[in-house]
């Protein structure tokens, strides 16, 4: 699936919405990507195929897929299925509990132990907080991060003039692979014949000027 088809897919499913939203970072954004709305088997299958292709094309070497709670959980589970079905890559996966369990098997990692090189799979990166927390969990378990795969790179500044993603790549020496970026969404809106889409374009461009890296 190319980038424009992926954008059509996320707009049709309501995952990508244009409007007014408050982000985890406190930023007021004219768009929001809610991966929780990939909520049918067919949608998850299409999404997982997209992630699996991005992983296979990246050539990233890893031992375990890790989906940070909560929205990373179905992403890791379904992408591991797509990697096995489409790419003959049978990789183990894991996810964390946000609150540690103190009975039964205990702990806060579910699935395969975090060992060796761990590939993080998540929905979006804005300021990078969630990814840094995921890397801390991987390191606390004695494993090392191998890279990050996300659906949407919002291309926003992190703590410096670099993007949050560039800072993660610099600080941890790992690649971040994304299916689409903010620039792809703006390009798509620019060529869209839908008047409502067109009307959000200037808000998107203003937001990119304020928080974006270019």
Ligand X SMILES: O=P(O)(O)OC[C@H]1O[C@H](OP(=O)(O)OP(=O)(O)O)[C@H](O)[C@@H]1O
Question: 115-134: which residues touch ligand X (CB under 6 A)?
Answer: 122-130
Annotated catalytic residue 157: no
Catalytic, 101? Answer yes
Paired tokens of 80: 């591991």
Assess 135 for contact with ligand X (CB under 6 A): no
Q: Which stretch binds ligand ORO (CB under 6 A): 28-36, 57-65, 89-97, 137-145?
A: 28-36
Could you identify the residue written with the tokens 């309501």? 14
Q: With contacts defined by CB under 6 A, how many residues of the chain interact with ligand ORO? A: 9
How far does Cα 42 stand from its chain's mean position? 19
Which residue among the candidates 91, 103, 117, 139 is catalytic per the annotation?
103
Q: Which is nearer to ligand ORO, 123 or 144 (CB)?
A: 123
33 binds ligand ORO (CB under 6 A): yes
Question: Contact with ligand X (CB under 6 A): which of 25, 43, 58, 166?
Answer: 25
Place of tokens 């610099």: 170
Instruction: Catalog residues that contact ligand ORO under the rule CB under 6 A.
Output: 23-25, 32-34, 123-124, 126
Binding-site annotation: residue ranges: 24, 32-33, 70-71, 97-98, 101, 103, 122-130, 154
State the catalytic residues. Answer: 101, 103
């Amino acid at each position: 699936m190319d980038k424009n088809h992926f954008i059509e897919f996320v707009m049709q499913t309501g995952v990508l919405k244009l409007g007014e939203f408050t982000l985890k970072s406190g930023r007021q954004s004219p768009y929001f990507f809610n991966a929780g709305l990939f909520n049918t088997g067919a949608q998850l299958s299409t999404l997982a195929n997209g992630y699996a292709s991005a992983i296979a094309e990246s050539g990233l070497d890893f031992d375990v897929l890790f989906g940070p709670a909560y929205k990373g959980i179905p992403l890791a589970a379904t992408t591991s299925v797509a990697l096995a079905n489409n790419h003959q890559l049978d990789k183990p996966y894991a996810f964390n509990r946000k609150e540690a369990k103190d009975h039964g098997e205990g702990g806060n990692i579910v699935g395969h132990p975090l060992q060796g090189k761990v590939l993080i799979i998540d929905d979006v990166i804005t300021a990078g907080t969630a990814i840094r927390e995921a890397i801390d969990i991987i390191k606390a378990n004695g494993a090392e991060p191998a890279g990050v795969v996300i659906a949407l790179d919002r291309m926003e500044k992190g703590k410096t003039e670099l993007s949050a993603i560039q800072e993660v790549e610099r600080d941890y020496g790992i690649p971040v692979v994304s299916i689409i970026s903010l620039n792809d969404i703006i390009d798509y809106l620019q060529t869209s014949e839908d008047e409502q889409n067109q009307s959000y374009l200037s808000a998107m461009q203003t937001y990119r000027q304020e928080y974006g890296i270019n």
